[in-house]
Amino acid sequence: MRARYALPALAAAAALLLSGCVDNSTPATPGESSGSSSATAVGKDDAAAALVPADIVKRGTLLIGTDAAYPPNEYKDTDGSPIGWGIELSNGIAAKLGLKPQYQVAKFENIIPSITGGKVDMGESSFTDNVEREKQVDFVNYYNAGILWAAPAGKTVDPNDACGLKVAVQTGTVEETDEIPAKNEACTAAGKPLIQIMKYDAQEDATNAVVLGSADALSADSPVTGYAISKTGGKLVAAGKSFDVAPYGMATQKGSEMTKAVQAALQSMVDDGSYGKILDTWGVADGGIAKITINAAANG
């Protein structure tokens, strides 16, 4: 659900303090120890590989743009290499296409321009497929994610009645750009105080803001919130259930053959079970889909 950047001075100054609040030092799942290479073996699919443009075949690499700051979807291991279940899916796509994955870590807002400018072949960064983005790129839909809030254990927070609360979000996410502003319109209409949006460059900082008590709750994509809850040792709990479910998409150049190639590769992964194995390994199978589509927002 990422739309996304600017690190508040407070968060920067407190970085060393906050880093100890959420335990990211040990893998939560077997997939996290796999580094940038997929832990699930994926074989080449000749039919999918035949769709890859000749210049990319000649190069031999799939250039993938990612903003590796959104665990467990995509983030960095201790060596700075991208990992996460979205990264493993991307590795699988490359393998199906007979290519080697090569990641370019960038700010989220720079990934789509890199695709339209031909600097990368695909963007994997928990992109929410929406009609506005589809004007710039195609999306190969691979997952359904909702929005899920978390709050301190023992504290009751209702996402539908949050006027006056401080809510932490990662900057540029749909939660910051769409969800909370819409809730604030409702607060204004009801004559209630606005939700204070606390913006953080990294999801870990948003999570720590709630753990430390400087925010009342956090809002993020359902797999991200679930992961954050699992890493805080019982300090956070889900506040309600997931809502506003929408498709994630791998972004590709609009109208390109790569769109069809990526779709074929992902469908092959669904069919041979490697897709499901990756989601199961990372504990995010709830949002898995059986049919890989293109531009679901428009074609819905």
User: pLDDT tens across 266-276, in order?
Assistant: 999 999 999 99
Phi, psi (5° rounding) for residue 58?
A: -65, -40
End-to-end CA distance of the chain: 17
Q: Tell me: the pLDDT tens digits for 66-98?
A: 999 899 999 999 999 999 999 999 999 999 999
At residue 7, the pLDDT reads 29
Q: Residue ranges of the chain with pLDDT lower than 50?
A: 2-37
pLDDT at site 282: 93
pLDDT of the residue at 36: 40
Q: What is the reported pLDDT for 3?
A: 46
Sequence ranges of the chain with CATH classification 3.40.190.10: 9-145+246-299, 146-244
Domain 9-145+246-299 maps to which CATH number in 3.30.830.10, 3.40.50.1400, 3.40.190.10, 3.40.50.10800? 3.40.190.10
pLDDT, position 174: 87
CA distance 114 to 84: 22
Q: What is the DSSP letter of 287?
A: G
The DSSP bridge pattern shows strands 293-294 and 137-152 to be antiparallel
User: How far is it, in rounded angstroms, from Cα 252 to Cα 227?
Assistant: 27
- How far apart (Å, rounded) are the C-alpha atoms in residues 146 and 247? 9
Q: Which residue has the tokens 């430390």?
A: 212
pLDDT, position 300: 66
- Residue 39 has a pLDDT of 63
| Top-tier CATH class for 146-244 | alpha beta
**Which pLDDT score, from 0 to 100, does residue 79 have?**
94
* pTM for the predicted model, two decimal places: 0.80
State the Cα angle at 35 between 293 and 294, rounded to 5°.
10
Tokens 């832990």 belong to which residue?
39
